[in-house]
Amino acid sequence: MSGPFIAVDWGTTNRRAYVIDKSEVVASEQDDGGVLSVPAGGFPASVADLRARHGGLPMLLAGMVGSNRGWHDAGYVAAPAGIAELAGNLVSPVEGVDIVPGVCRDSGGRQDVMRGEEVQLLGAVAAGLAPADALLCQPGTHVKWAVMQGGVLADFTSSMTGEMFAMLKAHSLIGSEMTGGVDADEEFRKGVEASADGDLLAALFGVRAASVLGARAPGAAAAYVSGLLLGTDCRARIKPGETVYLLADGLLARLYSAAISIAGGEAVIVDSHAAFIAGITRIRDMTP
């Protein structure tokens, strides 16, 4: 399909909408109207409001809005999957509004799912922000590591890294030790280095022991634990010398760049908003 449309990256806690015309963003808005903020039965009104604000254009939605906790379950297409597979499996809850499906993998006894990230990943490659054969990483609550082959999302692994950090801080024995800020500083690097032991469960208890024995300065443990977790994640994913295309900015970009480097790889930062625009525009273009 051609012509201007409204693209929405509709996640769990946030929502970004773009009016796209001839591959250019001509208007955009962002709010905290993520899936969790929408009351039961509230999606039709929320979608209609958003659409009305932007001239009633056709809409193409991606992200958790298409999950069973969102508006309408848009299902999954199986990896390997490209733009064509996404465009060919849109789900339309109401006239003029389509939702992009997620991507799943299920082989060798290992299952994985993503929803929303696939647009960025395929968009990054389609726009030439990353090569057609590459390892891509999207940090977050559930980090996505995607293996792209021939421009297609060939396989991927999700890791509970961000959620684990938040859970340890809020609910574990070492939570009260996890004070101080997190940045790609010396303590963070020590954590990434310690993750080379491949013994996360013991290293986490060691944070408590270091505190009891006065072996770590107060305010240093949060950065150390972040380093342990990101280091564990990166080491499980990266071959020596491998380049990782990192769809992140700000703090997460700094942390993952440092962890990837210490783990033996090299990070290249990719603009994730540009990747989304590129991906969603191509899905729209290929929609029958």
Residues that bind its own copies (CB under 8 A): 76, 104, 106, 109-113, 142, 157-161, 163-164, 167-168, 170-173, 194, 198-202, 204-206, 208-210, 212-213, 215, 229, 232-233, 236
* 253 CB-near residues (< 8 Å, 6+ apart): 139, 246, 267, 269
Q: Which residues pair with 15 in a beta bridge?
A: 10, 31
CA-nearest of 54, 63, 65, 62 to 20 is: 54
Q: Among residues 15 and 105, whose Cβ is nearest to its own copies?
A: 105
Q: Among residues 27 and 200, whose Cβ is nearest to its own copies?
A: 200
Q: How far is the CB of 167 from its own copies (least distance, A)?
A: 5
Q: How far is the CB of 108 from its own copies (least distance, A)?
A: 10
Q: Among residues 22 and 171, whose Cβ is nearest to its own copies?
A: 171
Q: How far is the CB of 166 from its own copies (least distance, A)?
A: 9
CA 134/CA 146 separation, integer angstroms? 8
Q: Among residues 97 and 168, whose Cβ is nearest to its own copies?
A: 168
Q: Is the dihedral of CA 106, 107, 112, 117 positive or negative?
A: negative
Q: How far is the CB of 217 from its own copies (least distance, A)?
A: 13
Looking only at the bridges linking them, the beta strands covering 152-159 and 266-270 are unpaired
Q: How far is the CB of 248 from its own copies (least distance, A)?
A: 17
At 182, the amino acid letter reads V
Q: How far is the CB of 193 from its own copies (least distance, A)?
A: 9
Q: Among residues 123 and 206, whose Cβ is nearest to its own copies?
A: 206
Cα–Cα–Cα angle for 83, 87, 89, rounded to 5 degrees: 120
Q: Among residues 52 and 212, whose Cβ is nearest to its own copies?
A: 212
